[in-house]
A = this chain, B = another copy of it.
């Protein structure tokens, strides 16, 4: 009897520990991907302002930020771990329900961010503008389908 109680107690302890670990993993993953997207947004802002002519076009600065975004664009995916559709997140369950579509969106993000980094090396706003537009559409497309927008 004692042994059985002990085994049940241990099983419960192990289950609780693994549930706690999973909860931490989920929180860390959510915080991670939000940090990545926020860093993308921070760098996207001045580029958007240059494209719209709200601030002067600085080709070197634009190119530097485009390079950063090209690296960042490859990072969010690993933060969308199984079970991380709950908690402090705007991620919609559709991400995990339509994983192939979501992955295709992530691929498009990486591809179009790389294309922008390439275009930015031209230093020519006429070359940059349409590529920047494509990247913006890619962001919006995924936000519409997979994110709770404010």
Q: A: which residues have CB within 8 A of B?
A: 28, 31-32, 34-36, 38-39, 42, 67-68, 71-72, 75, 79
Contacts and interface: CB of A to CB of B under 8 A. Distances in A.
Contacts of A38: 31-32, 35
- Main SS at interface, chain A: helix
Nearest to A31: B38
Given A35-B36, A36-B39, A71-B71, 13 more contacts: A31-B38, A32-B39, A32-B42, A34-B35, A35-B35, A35-B38, A35-B42, A39-B39, A39-B75, A42-B79, A67-B71, A68-B71, A68-B75
Contacts of A35: 34-36, 38-39, 42
A68 B55 CA distance: 29
7 contacts: A31-B38, A32-B38, A32-B39, A32-B42, A39-B72, A39-B75, A68-B71
A150 to B, nearest CB: 15
A39 B35 CA distance: 6
Contacts of A31: 38
Nearest to A41: B32
Contacts of A34: 35
Contacts of A68: 71, 75
A38 B32 CA distance: 6
